[in-house]
């Protein structure tokens, strides 16, 4: 059974540190925001040699869908092995919505049944519409699992309010913890060289929720206005669909599609960008926005999810209404044509990142939560008490 941990545990296997199980789709190689958060947490714990030794377990999100049941069974066996042999007592579960809640809920129920503390970390950008439109049985399951968790981590106050008011979780079992990213380590990484023509970047899972078609339509309007630019749309999803849309709008020479990028490749692309655009209809708190702020890149996005809780229009970003192509066109044109605006957004965004979204502070808050959960009896564990997190 030891082979189940291959690729999941850190190199320091002789450590006496407390084992921390992180259940995440795709494990350490998972795509999207959840994968990024998982890697940052695990790597930070290892690099800091903290009290916790992370074991990242793939719950069925990577590779062929045919292999998903086997990965799920492997996750169950790994969890039980770490509980029995290493006496693991804490499980950090990354969850989104839909099928993710079914799989993660079963794993949370298992962990609870063997006496483990559980953190349910809500990342789902579409949790609210999913829950609202789900059938009664699904809503009951989501509510049961969320209430059963020792602690629910959410990405913003809007998410917190929904989990309390609609899902029915006790407010004392919820902590608001905004995402965070690493501080770029070299000046070259954060250099803001203005290209001619300027480079626009969209880094996302290319699906309708992200506003990809709206961006392409805005780019077509910019071209008609005689504004020069280049655009890179990076990410998986419905890539062929949007390549065809770009061709139909006569944008093929101005838009390139990369498919999924590794974390290093994505960071290099963002470092080259002049403007980062994310015109989504639904979001949580996107990692790409925080990474863009860390690099001092002007951001155009929509006031959805937790984004308007942390960004301010005309100061740290430009907001456009979801689906409003004319607003999006105007916002891009403004940044391209206004050097002073670019400098304002770049400087203010970078300062905001250092104040609120730098990874070291995030990890201090998270480790503090781990420690307090472990130190309290299961039936008395609450989210209140001294912590540097922003709490409910």
DSSP conformation class of 166: I
Local confidence pLDDT in tens for the 392 residues of the chain = 333 333 344 444 445 789 999 999 888 888 788 989 999 999 999 998 789 999 999 987 655 666 778 888 999 999 999 999 999 999 999 998 888 888 899 999 999 999 999 999 999 889 999 999 999 999 999 999 999 999 999 999 999 999 999 999 999 999 999 999 999 866 556 666 788 899 999 999 999 999 999 999 999 999 999 999 999 999 999 999 999 999 999 999 999 999 999 888 998 999 999 999 999 999 999 999 999 999 999 999 999 999 999 999 999 999 999 999 999 999 999 999 999 999 999 999 999 999 999 999 999 999 999 999 988 765 544 444 433 354 33
Domains of the chain and CATH, by start: 2-180+358-391 (3.40.50.2000), 187-356 (3.40.50.2000)
Please answer whether residues 177 and 365 qualify as being in contact, where contact means their C-beta atoms are separated by less than 8 angstroms: yes
- Which 3 state secondary structure label does DSSP give 122? strand
Burial label, 1 (beta-carbon count in 10 A; 0-12, 13-18, 19+)? exposed
Q: Which residues of 198-235 are buried (b: 16+ CB within 10 A; e: fewer)?
A: bbbbbbbebeebbbbbbbbbbbbbbbeeebebbbbbbb
- Which 3 state secondary structure label does DSSP give 222? helix
This prediction's pTM: 0.86
Quickly list DSSP for 8-67: TS-S-TT--SEEEEEEETTGGG--HHHHHHHHHHHHHHHHHT-SEEEEEEE-S-SS-GGG
Rounded Cα distance, 132 and 129, in Å: 5
């Amino acid at each position: 059974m030891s082979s189940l941990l291959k690729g999941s545990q850190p190199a320091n296997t002789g450590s006496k540190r407390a084992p921390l199980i992180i259940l995440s789709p795709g494990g350490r190689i998972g795509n999207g925001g959840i994968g990024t958060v998982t890697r940052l947490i695990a790597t930070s714990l290892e690099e800091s040699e903290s009290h916790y030794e992370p074991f990242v377990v793939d719950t069925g999100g990577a590779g062929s869908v045919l292999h998903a049941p086997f990965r799920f069974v492997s996750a169950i066996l790994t969890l039980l092995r770490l509980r029995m042999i290493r006496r693991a007592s804490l499980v950090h579960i990354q969850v989104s919505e839909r099928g993710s809640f079914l799989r993660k809920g079963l794993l949370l129920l298992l962990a609870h049944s063997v006496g483990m503390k559980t953190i349910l970390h809500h990342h789902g950008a579409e949790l609210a519409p999913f829950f609202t439109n789900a059938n009664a049985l699904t809503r009951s399951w989501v509510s049961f699992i969320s209430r059963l968790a020792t602690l629910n981590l959410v990405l913003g106050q809007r998410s917190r309010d929904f989990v309390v008011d609609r899902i029915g979780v006790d407010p004392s079992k919820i902590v608001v913890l905004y995402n965070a990213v690493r501080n770029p380590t070299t000046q070259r990484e954060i250099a803001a060289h203005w290209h001619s023509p300027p480079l626009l970047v969209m880094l996302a899972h290319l699906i309708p929720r992200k506003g990809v078609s709206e961006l392409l339509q805005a780019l077509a309007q910019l071209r008609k206005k005689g504004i020069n630019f280049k655009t890179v749309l990076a990410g998986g999803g419905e890539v062929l669909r949007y390549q065809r849309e770009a061709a139909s709008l006569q944008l093929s020479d101005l838009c390139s599609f990369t498919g999924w990028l590794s974390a290093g490749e994505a960071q290099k692309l963002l470092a080259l960008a002049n403007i980062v655009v994310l015109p989504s209809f639904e979001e949580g708190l996107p990692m790409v926005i925080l990474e863009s702020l860390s690099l001092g890149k002007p951001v155009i996005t929509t006031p959805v999810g937790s984004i308007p809780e942390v960004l301010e229009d005309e100061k740290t970003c430009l907001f456009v209404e979801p689906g409003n192509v004319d607003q999006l066109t105007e916002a891009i044109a403004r940044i391209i044509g206004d050097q002073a605006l670019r400098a304002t957004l770049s400087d203010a965004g970078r300062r905001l990142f250092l104040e609120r979204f730098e990874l070291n502070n995030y990890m201090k808050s998270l480790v503090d939560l781990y420690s307090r959960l472990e130190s309290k009896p299961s039936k008395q564990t609450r989210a209140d008490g001294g912590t540097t997190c922003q709490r409910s």
